[in-house]
């Protein structure tokens, strides 16, 4: 596949001050979020909710690409229009989650390995036909007693790199997502050390597997203290730790970095993205934006609550949260 077309897609994904919307929760993750609010966990309710998202007025002003899940890419509005068509009409590039989830890693207690390489060529060819132009694969690493081990980091990095190589061959831009989870009582410094190791390993594997850095997007965690850490550092410290690490680990030829939110509150996710732009505006070789799920969707989901009469207000909240992150990308957000 032409490198130029991968570069063009990646450039559009990172355009202006927009970001990506992760709406690719698997059936089980989506059901978990619904269950917490007592929303019925059925295919029809998942469809209704995704219809609410894709038909949100002005969404395209803040969102350049939306990551879908296999169920969602095949779904339509109540009027019978495919979601993917609506996105394309709005100029939002459709993307697709292609990993099949993280399972326990044999021989490595408390660690996970991501599945999904089987038949990936074939699945990507079908998704391309449906209109997807980028994909996502998430690896998860937990900071704990002796974890993550170098064995699990290497195995996850190798799989991310094979996935990325296969995507590029299929004309699809890979989003490479190695997530170091926020769970735990570790310090900001520990998160920085682990993320540094993970990113070096991932880029080494990407190089070994001949992935073109110009035709991929990195979706990393921010460097933050563990959720249970007693020292919760401010946005400036998070910004400094995160960007210093990326400047060491992420090649300048990577066109864009788009953060996951990982369980941060919507406000913190915006504030921290903003601080990175305020403090490093002219020092970053890559575009830096958001690819949040929870930090953009949560207020909208809570307002919707499974009820048709709440759709318009829920859509307003979705747009508002996405829009705030475009302001943060400009470094002009005030909490």
Can residue 69 be called a binding residue for ligand 13P (CB under 6 A)? no
- Over the window 125 to 154, marking each residue x when it contacts ligand 13P by CB under 6 A and - when it does not, the resulting string is -------------x----------------
Can residue 315 be called a binding residue for ligand 13P (CB under 6 A)? no
Can residue 293 be called a binding residue for ligand 13P (CB under 6 A)? yes
Q: How far is the CB of 325 from ligand 13P (least distance, A)?
A: 11
**Looking at beta carbons only, is 81 or 111 nearer to ligand 13P?**
111
Q: How far is the CB of 175 from ligand 13P (least distance, A)?
A: 8
CA distance 195 to 207: 18
Which one of 163, 286, 292, 333 is in contact with ligand 13P (CB under 6 A)?
A: 292
**Looking at beta carbons only, is 133 or 294 nearer to ligand 13P?**
294
Can residue 18 be called a binding residue for ligand 13P (CB under 6 A)? no
Q: Is 177 a catalytic residue?
A: yes
Q: How far is the CB of 258 from ligand 13P (least distance, A)?
A: 9
Which one of 152, 261, 270, 325 is in contact with ligand 13P (CB under 6 A)?
A: 261
State the SS3 of the chain. Answer: CCHHHHHHHHHHHCCCCCEEEECCCCHHHHHHHHHHCCCCCCHHHHHHHHHHHHCCCCHHHHEEEEEECHHHHCCECCCCCEHHHHHHHHCCEEEEECCCCEEEECCEEEEEEECCCCCHHHHHHHHHHHCCCEEEEEEEECCCCCCCCHHHHHHHHHHHHHHHHHHHHCCCEEEEEEEECCCCCCCHHHHHHHHHHHHHHHHHHHHHCCCCHHHCEECCCCCCCCCCCCCCCCHHHHHHHHHHHHHHHCCCCCCEEEECCCCCCHHHHHHHHHHHHHHHCCCCCCEEEEEECHHHHHHHHHHHCCCHHHHHHHHHHHHHHHHHHHHHHCCCCCC
**Looking at beta carbons only, is 257 or 295 nearer to ligand 13P?**
295
Can residue 260 be called a binding residue for ligand 13P (CB under 6 A)? yes
Q: Is 307 a catalytic residue?
A: no
Q: Which of 25, 51, 111, 177 is the catalytic position?
A: 177
Q: How far is the CB of 222 from ligand 13P (least distance, A)?
A: 10
Considering only the stretches 55-63, 194-202, 240-248, 288-296, report the one whose residues sit in contact with ligand 13P under the rule CB under 6 A. 288-296
Can residue 294 be called a binding residue for ligand 13P (CB under 6 A)? yes
Interior angle at CA 139, CA 161 and CA 10, nearest 5: 55
Can residue 295 be called a binding residue for ligand 13P (CB under 6 A)? yes
Interacting residue ranges for ligand 13P, rule: CB under 6 A: 22, 138, 177, 260-262, 292-295
Catalytic residues: 177, 219
């Amino acid at each position: 596949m032409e490198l130029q077309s991968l570069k063009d897609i990646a450039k559009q994904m990172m355009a202006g001050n927009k970001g990506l919307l992760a709406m690719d929760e698997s059936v089980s993750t989506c059901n978990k979020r619904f269950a917490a609010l007592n929303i019925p966990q059925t295919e029809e309710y998942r469809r209704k909710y995704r219809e609410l998202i894709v038909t949100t007025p002005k969404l395209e002003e803040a969102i350049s690409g939306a990551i879908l899940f296999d169920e969602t890419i095949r779904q339509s509005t109540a009027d019978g229009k495919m979601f993917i068509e609506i996105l394309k009409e709005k100029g939002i590039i459709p993307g697709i989650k292609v990993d099949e989830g993280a399972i326990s890693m044999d021989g490595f207690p408390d660690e996970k390995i991501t599945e999904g390489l089987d038949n990936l060529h074939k699945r990507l060819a079908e998704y391309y036909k449906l209109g997807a132009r980028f994909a996502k694969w998430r690896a998860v690493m937990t900071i704990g007693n002796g974890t993550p081990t170098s064995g699990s980091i290497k195995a996850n990095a190798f799989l991310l790199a094979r996935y990325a190589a296969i995507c590029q061959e299929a004309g699809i831009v890979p989003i490479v997502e190695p997530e170091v989870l926020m769970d735990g009582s570790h310090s900001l410094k520990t998160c920085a050390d682990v993320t540094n190791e993970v990113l070096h390993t991932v880029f080494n594997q990407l190089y070994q597997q001949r992935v073109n850095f110009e035709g991929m997007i990195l979706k990393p965690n921010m460097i933050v203290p563990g959720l249970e850490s007693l020292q919760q550092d401010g946005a400036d410290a998070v910004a400094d730790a995160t960007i210093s690490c990326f400047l060491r680990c992420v090649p300048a030829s990577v066109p864009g970095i788009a953060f996951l939110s990982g369980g941060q509150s919507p406000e913190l996710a915006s504030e921290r993205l903003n601080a990175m732009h305020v403090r490093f505006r002219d020092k970053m070789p890559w575009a830096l934006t958001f690819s949040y799920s929870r930090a953009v969707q949560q207020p909208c989901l809570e307002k919707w609550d499974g009820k048709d009469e709440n759709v318009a207000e829920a859509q307003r909240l979705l747009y508002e949260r996405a829009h705030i992150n475009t302001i943060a990308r400009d470094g002009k957000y005030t909490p």
